[in-house]
Chain A
Amino acid sequence: MTELKVVANATCTFCGCVCDDIELTVEGDHITKAKNACVLGKAWFLNHHVEPGPSARIRGKEVSLEEAMDEAARILTDAKFPIVYGLSDTTCEAQRVAVAIADWVGACIDTTTSVCHGPSGMAFQGVGEVTCSLGEVKNRADLVIFWGCNPAESHPRHWTRYSTMPKGLFVPRGRKDRTVVLVDVRKTKSAPAADIFLQIRPRMDFEVLWVLRALVKGLKLDPADLADTGVSLQQLEDLAGKMKSCKFGVLFFGMGLSMTRGKHLNVEAALALTRDLNDFTRFYAAPMRGHGNVTGADNVVSWQTGYPFGVHLGKGFPRFNPGEFTTTDTLARKEADAAMIIASDPMGNFSQAARDHLGTIPYIALDPKETATTAAATVAFTTATYGINVPGTVYRMDDVPIPLRAAFDSPHPSDELVLRGIEKRVRALQRASAAAR
């Protein structure tokens, strides 16, 4: 008979909401119930299975962990331009070791941030950001705007836990005390939940945001100027008025801004608009971060190197330049000559040129699941899943750090353990080679 265990206050790491109120029922190595979890969280916990294969493979052949770590260390130390990429679906404890390895071998360290909210990070460097933790939204927000995101499908509990439904200190009636606005190019499944839906034309975010900035400043505009945007001046005047007169407004923005032409300039416009509004009321902005610990990756890379992503360590110190040291670029330009991919799947979702080059260089992959990336890796580690088998720390999309509780043990090692093994070997190789000189 399998042992039945209940894990209270477990944390779901599927998306950036990082809900930590999940109650798991565990039977042996299966989770049979995930109380409070959304449809994505339920799938994350209930569909979880331990990969049956070996924990370590070299060119597809099963090897011991030690052999695989030896080979990984050799690949990284032999390389002239190694890159370390991924990190958004693992613990901060593992991320810290990954950045250490990148530092020791002089690699480019980059995270999946560069292909989700990297442009938002650049915009932040341009204008700053007026932001807050999600509890501020829960307790105070009377105007909530979602722009270029689709929480109904990507962050299903955002509304109920944080942004629109909960009853808060200054919004005691919850949803009734708030106005919810959705701005998007598609009328997504999120639209029915909004009081106001503005459907703008694709690639018109920048223009619409700047019109709003002008209206907030009290400038008069010609309706004809908005002809291409898909929305009328009147609609935007109405929205600008609501933004200025609310008590606490917040604009959550998604990859509709950061992935569309204009990218960081779109986000910069959103951040500048929300900043400007603080001359009239309190107004905030926050990105809807995707992966469970992509926010932790930004934090760890920042505190260890000073820069959030796309950091080149090859000269012996950190240098930052998006477009130069970010992974799509280092791969597509065929600069990287070795890679270590942690908890992400560039072979499944990078541009073809980047994938083609990754396929020609030796690389190491760590992932709990078989993916296109692990399948083609020189050294592949199957690791335990964070938040299910591995405890540790993750950061919610609003930078709030949250602990993880393990539900059951995995036969596979954690990312942290594998990375520590690789780090130890890398440093031993470097000391040996320094001693030989």
Chain B
Amino acid sequence: MTLLKISGGKVVDPVHGIKGEVLDLWIRDGVIIAKPANPEETPDKVIDASGRLIMAGGVDMHCHIAGPKVNLARKMRPEDKRNARPVQRTLLTRSGTGGSVPSTFATGYLYAGLGYTTAFDAAVPPLGARHAHEELQDTPLLDKGFYVLMGNNHYALKQIAANEPGRLRDFTAWLLQASKGYAIKLVNPGGVEVWKSGGGNIHELDEQVGHFSCTPRQIIQGLAQTAMDLELPHPVHVHCNNLGLPGNWRTTLATMEALEGRRAHLTHVQFHSYGGEPDRQDLFSSKTLELAEYVNDHPNLTVDVGQVLFGNTTSMTGDGPLGYYLHKVTGGKWTNADTEMEAGCGIVPVTYREKSFVNALQWAIGLEWYLLVKDPWRVAMSTDHPNGGSFLAYPQIIQLLMDRNCRREVLKRVNPRVLERSQLWDLDREYSLEEIAIITRAGPARCLGLKNKGHLGPGADADITIYNESADIRAMFEMPWKVIKDGVVVVDQGEIREAEGGRTYYVHPEFDSAGVNDIQKWFESFYTIQFANYPVGEEYLAGGGVRSSCGSRS
């Protein structure tokens, strides 16, 4: 039993309405507690945080950090790492490579160094779940988990086509259990299956998905409902159809409407907010306002942004046809990796250029999203790492959100046509520190149903970031003074002090075992591994794992 006190810091804890008051925090065995009632009780350790700013540890709800596609990207891009600063081995820590797709240990250290203590990979095919878990075990200092790709899963599509919501629910629960995943992920629902069945894509919500008698609309509705019926801690996590295509905002709006009030999280909305027409780059424009207004009016929806930053990065996606599209745009190397019965994958190196009209508008659209969604609880910080840029760019985005002059300086440099097609210049809103705390930890934690994360009240995990208060916002967020994970100082002024820790979060929804026979019959007809060898055992869970409960959402 160790008792830790963090004294004298200015606490920003939006969950409890605390906006920079000087407060002491008490921590026992890795958990935040109320001040001990017994005045005799003295802390084993005191951290004097006077004059410093305290927030809960950051929570990244949408990134790509582990599993098959991430590792393919590592293998494919030596040049990306050679151009990046490497992570040096110390007596305590492992070495690694950086760049847009850091190696696993480096990923853990870099996130922790940034004050982030939780991160979720957004797209894992269940057949590769064991791989993702192995990598998460080698990604230290983070609590973590992943979302399971389901929007092109044959069995799910079959049940949707047959209007069998009960079977769909049982299958989803079985699949989440088997993969030890955290949430349902849709990627280009139906479109990936079309790409896998001879090429092409799907462009309309009511188009039929190839050989399945169902449509993207039905997939979205069916799995959104399933997530709610299973009372999963996180609602369905949707990567809409038509990512990246001019004019796709109509699809995005139609997707929001198709949800008909069901809870859903729409991810990297920046990539889905484009006006114009598919083959007319000159008409390319921002439609953030229209979409953000819809989100503002519909509390069933949350979004993360997928901010684009200028520079070179790696696009990696479960959206196979998108990978092909990007390959055709860049003309460079391209990896496509399709998974039987389940999913697709595309990986392409990309560079976002300031002088490119399209890229600069993408950058502006991302910022518009942060600024036009009125309720910060419903918009989460993300770069869709590494698709829009690295998670290491979060401090830069924070600066852009807190300082309108800063973003106007960038607008002066970039392709001037952006000013005509975006309203970013005119958006005066500047984020407060409380709002930053919401979009980087409190909001995503709530959206993920992580009750012990994102805040500093009694019962919360003692994942705490202490910043040096500074007028230089970017520098302040780039290097926290101390980062505490489970009550232990893991990073001190940029130096890793503790190299291990972090657990894998997963869900274990119940299902009717009578449905398993049918699943097994289907599985044995089409898969190439044994049914018994498919489920991932508990030995693959980092730190023994944490089972998030279903059905306890208030």
Residues of A within 8 A of B (CB): 8-9, 11, 20-21, 92, 96, 100, 103-104, 106, 121, 124-136, 138-140, 161-162, 168-170, 247-248, 275, 278, 281-282, 284, 298-299, 302-308, 313, 316-318, 320, 393, 395-396, 399-403, 430-431, 434
Contacts and interface: CB of A to CB of B under 8 A. Distances in A.
A133 B340 contact: yes
Contacts of A128: 76, 327, 333-336, 347-348
9 contacts: A121-B75, A124-B335, A128-B333, A162-B528, A303-B134, A304-B138, A305-B103, A316-B89, A317-B89
A309 B22 CA distance: 52
Given A136-B196, A401-B128, A304 B103 contact: yes
B89 A307 contact: no
Contacts of B533: 9, 11, 20, 402-403
A394 to B, nearest CB: 10
Task: Report the 3 A-B pairs with minimum CB-CB distance, sorted nearest first.
Answer: A135-B340, A306-B97, A317-B86
A104 B128 CA distance: 29
A307 B103 CA distance: 9
B103 A431 contact: no
A304 B199 contact: no
A375 B341 CA distance: 47
Point out which of A92, A136, A162, A247 has the most chain B C-beta atoms below 10 A from its C-beta: A136
Contact of B77 (A125, A132, A282, A316): A125
B338 A305 contact: no
Contacts of A106: 89
B78 A92 contact: no
Interface in B72-95: 72, 74-78, 81-82, 86-89, 91, 94-95
Given A121-B75, A248-B198, A278 B338 contact: no
B68 interface: yes
B71 A103 contact: no
Interface string B429-471: 0000000000000000000000000000000000000000000
B127 A169 contact: no
Contacts of B70: 303
Interface string B333-365: 111111111000001100000000000000000
B365 to A, nearest CB: 28
Contact of A127 (B74, B86, B333, B338): B333
A302 B75 contact: yes
A275 B328 CA distance: 11
Nearest to A300: B134
Given A278-B199, A306-B97, 16 more contacts: A103-B89, A124-B76, A125-B333, A128-B327, A133-B127, A133-B337, A135-B341, A140-B196, A161-B528, A169-B525, A303-B138, A304-B138, A305-B95, A317-B97, A318-B81, A320-B82
B128 A399 contact: yes
B81 A402 contact: no
B335 A130 contact: yes
Contact of B324 (A127, A131, A278, A299): A278
Contacts of A282: 195-199
Nearest to A162: B528
Interface in B168-199: 195-199
B198 to A, nearest CB: 6
B251 interface: no
Given A305-B103, A316-B88, A132 B97 contact: no
B131 interface: yes
B532 interface: yes
A299 B336 contact: no
Given A103-B94, A399-B128, A307 B335 contact: no
Contacts of A393: 130, 134
Contacts of B71: 299, 302-303
A170 B94 CA distance: 47
Contacts of A170: 197
Contacts of A139: 340-341, 526
A429 to B, nearest CB: 11
Contact of A430 (B91, B138, B340): B91
Contacts of B96: 304-306, 317-318
Contacts of B135: 303
B530 interface: yes
A299 B88 contact: no
Contact of A136 (B75, B130, B338, B537): B338
Contacts of A396: 529
The B interface is mostly helix, strand or loop, or mixed, namely mixed
B95 A317 contact: yes
Given A318-B103, A401-B130, A133 B339 contact: yes
Contacts of A169: 154, 525-526
A130 B336 contact: yes
B105 interface: yes
A139 B525 CA distance: 10
Interface residues of B, number: 63
Interface in B91-139: 91, 94-97, 99, 101-106, 127-128, 130-131, 134-135, 138
A306 B105 CA distance: 10
A135 B130 CA distance: 17
Nearest to B90: A316
Nearest to B98: A306
A180 B288 CA distance: 51
A393 to B, nearest CB: 6
A266 to B, nearest CB: 17
Given A303-B71, A317-B89, A131 B337 contact: yes
B554 to A, nearest CB: 37
Contacts of B195: 282
A248 B341 CA distance: 15
A377 B234 CA distance: 55
Given A125-B78, A395-B131, A303 B104 contact: yes
A303 B103 contact: yes
A335 to B, nearest CB: 20
A249 to B, nearest CB: 11
Contacts of A132: 336-340
Contacts of B99: 306
A133 B76 CA distance: 18
Contacts of B527: 135
Contact of B530 (A20, A100, A431): A20
A39 B7 CA distance: 70
Contacts of A127: 333-334
A34 to B, nearest CB: 15
B528 A104 contact: no
B81 A307 contact: yes
Interface string B191-213: 00001111100000000000000
A437 to B, nearest CB: 11
B334 A130 contact: yes
A307 B340 contact: no
B130 A403 contact: yes
Contacts of B74: 302-303, 306-307
B526 A129 contact: no
Given A303-B71, A303-B138, A403-B533, A313 B127 contact: no
A318 B99 CA distance: 13
B334 A134 contact: no
Contacts of B327: 128
B316 to A, nearest CB: 12
B131 A100 contact: no
Nearest to A305: B103
B373 to A, nearest CB: 35
A199 to B, nearest CB: 31
B529 A402 contact: yes
Given A20-B529, A138-B340, A129 B335 contact: yes
Interface in B37-86: 66, 68, 70-72, 74-78, 81-82, 86
A320 B74 CA distance: 12
B452 to A, nearest CB: 28
A135 B335 CA distance: 18
Contacts of B102: 306
A100 B94 contact: yes
